[in-house]
A and B are shown apart, each in its own frame.
Chain A
């Protein structure tokens, strides 16, 4: 009984920490309509900053808290709103997601540079000591966390529903213009929201840091808030009391599982279960969430879609690309960089290029953000290694088919909801598979999983040249496939469902089927890419399909252009090159890049000023204004046409 009480108190404390993070997410979402994926990273930076001040520089706790929470977090929140988020008003829906992800990888990248991951760091409790109650020992730190969480929840609830500022904070996301007309600055309200959100993130990081028994770590603290995500989602990202209660429930459930179920499992399985539990809660939250009502928002996208190459043009361009690849293969046949042959690096670019093409399909065309394409890649590589002894065509087919099925299973529960939830589901899936599956020593083995190169009947593709050509051919075929899909009936539907879901449904098309189908196709492509990547590498290990690397890659595709095939190729090229040159700073490059791109939905390749410098990118015929004018001039008027019709 005393054990149960002890576990309950610790569970409530854990849940209270999640509750603060969840409250911060709700505050930011309520006031800006943006889900801050960097919430965990902000908490992580705050925890490390607090450690730096208190443990390394012996600053008094209270002063450290003021510096971290009041000065650091609130100023950072105001800065992020003013510099990064404000200019995203009216940008395409996936843009804020990308910017907050960019912020996350910048913060984790900077933290890795400042605080070496190899050093052990422990944060002392703010109030040390414990007391005894009903036969159990309770640490003062736990009481502090629970009390702070409750105070935050009640305080914010009162702020939002009892004060004029609170009304304005809630109103700003609904109609900023209307709020502006009532004499309240919508920008200032949004800024307050970000400041509060950052402070909540920092508070959760600082409070939970002392409870990390193995010391604070950058990825662990950054991902600690996945459980907070689940709580915020149960509160539908707007209800603080429900999010608070859900967070407590999740904290309790996690702690009971840790103490009652995990001891009966093998040590390897314990790690897997620990990693999977937050994801299970997140998925359960997504599945049980009521469907989001389709809304006719009446906001026409002003995005000018990049020109889509015609069938013949695609064939010619693909042929030219292949010819250039053959020449490159001959030129660089015997070259290498840092011990890796150039042809292997080239084949790697092509494999990552296929991943990027899958993102063009799922995010660029249909507007769904997938953060787990690297996960499908890892699954594809794993299947390739396990089927028919590795390196078989059967393995390629199995990797493609199984990833398609898994992709459909991931997308299915979330298609009833808005696209944000799919992004969250893919984030949780990538997190759980990486820490619960890929990191399990039994999956890839201590020396990695040997895959080997493809052997066709009567034809060995063992040489670097043959491997490079094979993967290049698959890249070109994938590019043709993506462009063919875009030109097809299905491609029009992908763009249409992104532009106006309400109109899409009312013309008789099933939103759910379309979204699941495209996600499954993209997952299949990622699985194929993973299988090919495995054959290029020969052996794949636990670090090849890292969660953060997957996010960084998505950002590179966004930077170049997530809506074009050329953007996909350039993203893959940049990613592989930077990984060779500055691997430790690649996240910072990606994060800064996506922030600098800002609201340019078509990435670097969509910036018109660059078109004359990039001769292979054809600019659209005319800017929108000119297009509208040409509609007036020389075109039959509506009345003429209608008269003729009548």
Chain B
């Protein structure tokens, strides 16, 4: 079960990735694999390098070394939009919505990026996780690319719990709902691999529960999901396999049960702990922020995995 070696079902492979920002090593030697049809967790304290790794995978950050493969295709030096066209979609830790557009239009942009104009009339795009199915609506309902796109976007929004909110301006929505718009936009691309950066922040318990069910359903449909999340209860419940990142290194990997008992993980999260405390790791949300290190320099208080981690040139 643990994907220590490459297998035929690996849809995403990261090997030996390192990224430095000036004197700060955001990633030292990151390795991970994501299998099709599984939810893989990526956890670690703030500043561990999780978002930097997401940026490397999605092409927003060039690694200093290491490789990234998507479905066996080397994408390390590929531009972000080409990776997306190969089936990679992501959401962001800090919202990156098209704020001036409505929620529905946000999803449309994602949808329209992956459907060629000549495909609209015959679009058989299947979103099996959406009950009633977008394809059925398309076949039975409106004709013409514009109408099909609107109808399909509405169905996708409904699928993430935002039915009827397609006309709302994205930037005016509460954070929790806006995160769902971002998720719907990513799903509209019908990706093979979905990278989710803290999708649960801003959601209440019931919404978090529902998110977990949705991600499980997506994985059951064959998608590979890589999840960064501080809600340990959610991670431990839905992930098939978990990687733990600390100081830019993968310090542990395994099933949720193995991770829960791993002494290095316990140390990274809680310092030296008892078994009882180790069990509490699963309940902890969010984990403590890593303290600044001397190498962090003047800006060390800012986590190296923050989005704005570019180091000013001298």
Residues of chain B within 8 A of A295, CB atoms compared: 60, 307-308, 310
B213 contacts A638, C-beta separation under 8 Å: no
Q: Is B79 positioned at the interface, with any CB of A under 8 Å from its CB?
A: yes
B163 contacts A495, C-beta separation under 8 Å: no
Chain B residues 274 to 314 lying within 8 A of chain A, measured CB to CB, are 298, 302, 307-308, 310, 312-314
Q: Is B172 positioned at the interface, with any CB of A under 8 Å from its CB?
A: yes
Interface string of B213-229 (1 = CB under 8 A from A): 11011000000000000
Complex Cα gap A646–B238 (Å): 14
Complex Cα gap A161–B209 (Å): 50
Partner pick for B189 among A493, A508, A631, CB 8 A cutoff: A508
B100 contacts A298, C-beta separation under 8 Å: no
Interface string of A300-332 (1 = CB under 8 A from B): 111111000000000000000000000000000
Q: How many residues of B contact A (CB 8 A)?
A: 81
B165: min CB distance to chain A, Å: 6
Chain A residues 349 to 374 lying within 8 A of chain B, measured CB to CB, are none
Known A-B contacts A496-B101, A508-B113, A637-B161; A294 and B96 likewise in contact (beta carbons under 8 Å): no
Partner pick for A642 among B89, B170, B207, B312, CB 8 A cutoff: B207
Q: Is A500 positioned at the interface, with any CB of B under 8 Å from its CB?
A: yes
Complex Cα gap A630–B62 (Å): 42
Question: What residue of chain B has the Cβ atom nearest to residue A503's Cβ?
Answer: B96
Q: Is B185 positioned at the interface, with any CB of A under 8 Å from its CB?
A: yes
Partner pick for A492 among B93, B109, B217, CB 8 A cutoff: B109
Question: What residue of chain A has the Cβ atom nearest to residue B185's Cβ?
Answer: A507
Question: What residue of chain B has the Cβ atom nearest to residue A501's Cβ?
Answer: B96
Question: What residue of chain B has the Cβ atom nearest to residue A642's Cβ?
Answer: B210
Question: What residue of chain B has the Cβ atom nearest to residue A622's Cβ?
Answer: B172
B96 contacts A296, C-beta separation under 8 Å: yes
B97 contacts A503, C-beta separation under 8 Å: yes
Residues of chain A within 8 A of B158, CB atoms compared: 641, 644-645
A169: min CB distance to chain B, Å: 12
B161 contacts A641, C-beta separation under 8 Å: yes
Partner pick for B99 among A300, A630, A639, CB 8 A cutoff: A300
A301 contacts B99, C-beta separation under 8 Å: yes
Complex Cα gap A558–B74 (Å): 46
B160: min CB distance to chain A, Å: 7
Partner pick for A294 among B60, B88, B114, B210, CB 8 A cutoff: B60
B4: min CB distance to chain A, Å: 29
A551: min CB distance to chain B, Å: 26
Q: Is A177 positioned at the interface, with any CB of B under 8 Å from its CB?
A: no
Partner pick for A302 among B90, B99, B308, CB 8 A cutoff: B99
Complex Cα gap A71–B229 (Å): 55
Chain A residues 486 to 519 lying within 8 A of chain B, measured CB to CB, are 489, 492-493, 495-496, 498-500, 502-511
B312 contacts A639, C-beta separation under 8 Å: no
A35: min CB distance to chain B, Å: 17
A621: min CB distance to chain B, Å: 9
Residues of chain B within 8 A of A298, CB atoms compared: 92-96, 307-308
Complex Cα gap A281–B307 (Å): 34
A115: min CB distance to chain B, Å: 41
B97 contacts A500, C-beta separation under 8 Å: yes
A348: min CB distance to chain B, Å: 33
Partner pick for A627 among B161, B169, B211, CB 8 A cutoff: B169
B46: min CB distance to chain A, Å: 15
Question: What residue of chain B has the Cβ atom nearest to residue A294's Cβ?
Answer: B60
A641 contacts B100, C-beta separation under 8 Å: no
Q: Is A135 positioned at the interface, with any CB of B under 8 Å from its CB?
A: no
A644 contacts B105, C-beta separation under 8 Å: no
Partner pick for B113 among A161, A495, A509, A624, CB 8 A cutoff: A509
A646 contacts B214, C-beta separation under 8 Å: yes
B64: min CB distance to chain A, Å: 14
Known A-B contacts A294-B80, A505-B81, A508-B114; A645 and B98 likewise in contact (beta carbons under 8 Å): no
Partner pick for B211 among A624, A630, A642, CB 8 A cutoff: A642
Complex Cα gap A288–B114 (Å): 32
B307 contacts A297, C-beta separation under 8 Å: yes
Question: What residue of chain B has the Cβ atom nearest to residue A301's Cβ?
Answer: B99
B101 contacts A499, C-beta separation under 8 Å: yes
A236 contacts B161, C-beta separation under 8 Å: no
In this complex, the member of B88, B109, B174, B178 whose beta carbon has the largest number of chain A beta carbons within 10 angstroms is B109
Complex Cα gap A170–B173 (Å): 34
8 pairs, A vs B, C-beta closer than 8 Å = A174-B308, A298-B96, A302-B171, A503-B185, A507-B185, A637-B161, A643-B213, A645-B131
**10 closest Cβ contacts across the A-B interface?**
A641-B161, A298-B94, A642-B210, A508-B84, A646-B213, A639-B206, A505-B80, A301-B99, A503-B96, A638-B161
User: A-contacting residues of B (Cβ < 8 Å)?
Assistant: 55, 58-62, 79-81, 83-85, 88-90, 92-101, 105-106, 108-110, 112-114, 129-131, 145-146, 149, 158-165, 168-174, 176-178, 180, 182, 185-186, 189, 203-204, 206-207, 209-211, 213-214, 216-217, 298, 302, 307-308, 310, 312-314
Extra A-B contacts (10), CB below 8 Å, given A301-B100, A509-B84, A631-B165: A297-B307, A492-B108, A504-B98, A505-B84, A510-B81, A630-B168, A635-B164, A637-B207, A641-B161, A642-B207
